[in-house]
A and B are shown apart, each in its own frame.
Chain A
Amino acid sequence: MCGIVGLFLKDKSLEPQLGALLTDMLVTMTDRGPDSAGIAIYSEDREGFAKLTVQMNDPAGFEGLGDEMSKALGTDVSVEVKDTHAVIELAEAKLDEARAALAELRPEARIMSQGEVIEIYKEVGLPADVAKRFDIAHQHGTHGIGHTRMATESAVTTLGAHPFSTGADQCLVHNGSLSNHNSLRRKLAREGIKVNTLNDTEVAAAYLTWKMQQGKSLGDALEASLEDLDGFFNFVVGTKDGFGVVRDPISCKPAVMAETDQYVAFGSEYRALVNLPGIEDARVWEPEPATVYFWKH
Chain B
Amino acid sequence: MQTFDLEANGLRGLNEALQAQSQTTNATAWEVVNPRGSHAVAVGLDAPIEVTVKGSTGYYCAGMNKQATIHVEGSAGPGVAENMMSGTVIVEGDASQYAGATGHGGLLVIKGNASSRCGISMKGIDIVVQGNVGHMSAFMAQKGNLVVCGDAGDALGDSIYEARLFVRGSVKSLGADCVEKEMRPEHLEILADLIERSGVDAKPEEFRRYGSARKLYNFDIDNAY
Contact = CB atoms under 8 A, between A and B. Distances in A.
Main secondary structure of the interface of A (DSSP, over half): loop
B113 to A, nearest CB: 8
Contacts of B93: 284
Contacts of A274: 36-37
B66 interface: no
Residue with the greatest number of chain B CB neighbours at <10 A, chosen from A250, A254, A285, A286: A286
Number of chain B interface residues as a range:
10 to 19
B211 to A, nearest CB: 25
Nearest to B135: A289
A254 B59 CA distance: 10
Interface string B127-153: 000000011000000000000000000
B116 A269 contact: no
Nearest to B76: A270
B94 interface: yes
A285 to B, nearest CB: 7
A60 interface: no
B28 interface: no
Interface residues of A, number: 16
Given A269-B77, A270-B77, A289-B116, A251 B97 contact: yes
Given A289-B134, A289-B135, A270 B97 contact: no
Contacts of A250: 116
B94 A286 contact: yes
A99 interface: no
B88 interface: no
A252 B36 contact: no
Interface in B54-105: 56-59, 75, 77-78, 93-94, 96-97
Contact of B38 (A256, A271, A285): A271
A254 B38 contact: no
Contact of A271 (B36, B96, B97): B36
Contacts of A270: 37, 56-58, 75, 77
A273 interface: yes
10 contacts: A252-B116, A254-B77, A254-B96, A269-B59, A270-B56, A271-B36, A271-B37, A273-B37, A284-B56, A285-B94
Interface of A: 249-252, 254, 256, 269-274, 284-286, 289
Given A252-B116, A254-B97, 17 more contacts: A249-B135, A251-B97, A251-B116, A252-B97, A254-B77, A269-B59, A269-B77, A270-B58, A270-B77, A271-B37, A273-B37, A274-B36, A274-B37, A284-B94, A286-B115, A289-B116, A289-B135
